[in-house]
Amino acid sequence: MHKPLAKLNTASPNRDMAKDPSLDAAYALETPEDSKQLYASWADSYDSDFARISDYILPEAVARHFVNIGGFGPVLDVGAGTGLCGTALRARGIEDIDGTDISADMLKVAKTKGIYRTTRVENLFDGLATPHGPYQGAVSSGTFTNGHVGPNGIKPILAAVRSGGRVVISVNTKHYAAAGFEDIFAQLETEIDDLTTTEAAIYGPSASGDHAKDTALLVAFRRT
């Protein structure tokens, strides 16, 4: 999940993030309870107040990249939020998509779209359920970013994917360097192959504000 409001740069450090969610509030999250509180207040208006107005194109980029590298279902959408990446996957013909997120309120919105086979409220660091067996692929859009998930979230995703399965996650470009993602991928050298990183825009041309030009790395790999 990667969540601003319309102009992306409107937060003050002392605001009540639950009452006035913004990108700065999302980047300042420190605990799972912070995440639940913020996204509970944002869920109903997230698609209109953020995705549409901010021209949030990252979920489309993740879905497109997953398909382009040969990914197919069943797929686990990690940090599914309101289902933006899941919707983009379904539009590209991917079926049997399950969504998981720490926010029950965001998933409640996602369920109304009819794109997920199942949705589950889960904390990534407690492990990810595989009720139908390991997944053929996994995606994550906007979850690996400031105030959210660091490189220690890679292994739980990998554990949910079967041998040969494809994974595409977006990682905020600055977060990738600062949090040490290169180190975790070096540690996983014998467990993954076909590792690539592709820079992509997070927001489209109609976005404005301090973060309008922010980018993410689409990190793709295959479980050996």
Residue ranges covered by each domain of the chain: 58-223
Please provide the average confidence, as pLDDT, over all residues in the chain: 85
Confidence at 31, pLDDT banded by 50, 70, 90: low
- 3-class DSSP state for residue 211? coil
**CA–CA distance, 119 with 135 (Å, rounded to integer):** 14
By percentage, how much of the chain surpasses pLDDT 90?
A: 71
What pTM, to 2 d.p., does this model score? 0.85
The domain made up of 58-223 is a member of CATH 3.40.50.150 = yes
Torsion, Cα 129 134 136 142, to 10 degrees, reads: 30
In this structure, are residues 210 and 9 in contact, taking their beta carbons and an 8 Å threshold? yes
pLDDT, one tens digit per residue, over 35-65 is 555 656 566 667 787 778 889 999 999 999 9
Q: Identify the weakest region by mean pLDDT among 151-155, 180-184, 209-213.
A: 209-213
pLDDT of residue 17: 43
pLDDT of residue 35: 57
Confidence at 202, pLDDT banded by 50, 70, 90: very high
Residue 81 structure tokens: 């939020």
pLDDT, one tens digit per residue, over 75-131 is 999 999 999 999 999 999 999 999 999 999 999 999 999 999 999 999 999 999 999
Q: How many CB atoms lie within 10 A of CB 211?
A: 19
